[in-house]
Chain A
């Protein structure tokens, strides 16, 4: 990504010297991805919007510790993952909640019937995701939604690639059993 003429690494380096414009470029570049990841982890849009900002503020605070050998994407997602997990850990008992709102559904150009089906499939997928453990949910989101490689996921979660491989397979098995072939 070289939007604004700067790569991520250049933006981070400038941000490390206190350049908030460069940091804002990074926020704009990653806000949707961080938001949707946190949203699928915590379930509430309002909370996800707040936590996304929080994750970026934590990233700003941690900038002195960023090293050029770290990919910004995985470094940022590590912070986002910790932010979401921290909230989930403290939440303990209460699990949410289907997402409200009908926006962002696939196939908006399709007819009403197809849209309804897409909506039902999405709700079923959300319900299945919510039945996964937090660890399973985050790994499947990083792989399937964020399209990260095993090596990138390993950097985000701080686990070996072997563990990525096995945890991801367990998560997918569980998700398929909850989501089921009925939605296929």
Chain B
């Protein structure tokens, strides 16, 4: 798409941000004015808007059953999440990192045994038993405990 752009045509990125309402006031005005008079850009805007309408239909999908009772049953077999009152909670985030990474970090730091001794019950309680259905390795990439997981500037 957009293979015969005019020199002053905004990039698709700008048009895409325009329909999302994510452009700052001045830029928004400029691009909207250009798109009105440019057949190429207005065609692109049209495509973007049609895609949006089509995608909306996906929002109607429902699980079709209440998963809360199933989740509840699986949680009932566990302890409540323990808030780590004792000082050294700094290592906790590793429990939900990919296990290889966590193990590597713990070995490097030489604190694996110490962590188990200090917080062994918490470690056991948080072992995701259900994961074993899929893979002995806990799913990776979870880093909800880390700073980077939170929105910037909040």
Instruction: Please give the residue numbers on chain A whose beta carbons come within 8 Å of chain B beta carbons, in ascending order.
Output: 15-18, 20, 23-25, 27-28, 31-32, 35-36, 39-40, 49-50, 52-54, 56-58, 60-67, 69-71, 74-75, 78-79, 82-83, 85-87, 89-90, 103-106, 118, 121-122, 125, 140-141, 143-147, 149-152, 154-155, 158, 160, 165-166, 168-169, 172-173, 175-177, 179, 181, 183-184
Give min CB distance, B80 to chain A, whole Å. 3
- What are 28 pairs between A and B in contact, CB < 8 Å? A18-B81, A23-B71, A25-B68, A27-B68, A32-B61, A35-B63, A53-B67, A53-B71, A57-B75, A58-B128, A60-B71, A60-B75, A62-B142, A63-B81, A79-B142, A82-B142, A104-B60, A121-B57, A143-B20, A144-B51, A146-B59, A150-B22, A165-B17, A166-B13, A169-B12, A169-B13, A176-B1, A176-B51
Give min CB distance, A159 to chain B, whole Å. 10
| Contact pick for B92, options A32, A65, A175, CB 8 Å | A65
Nearest chain-B residue to A166 (Cβ)? B13
Total contacting residues, chain B, CB less than 8 A: 66
B61 in contact with A82 (CB, 8 Å): no
Q: Which B residues lie within 8 Å of A58 (CB)?
A: 96, 128, 139, 142
B1 in contact with A177 (CB, 8 Å): yes
Give min CB distance, B151 to chain A, whole Å. 4
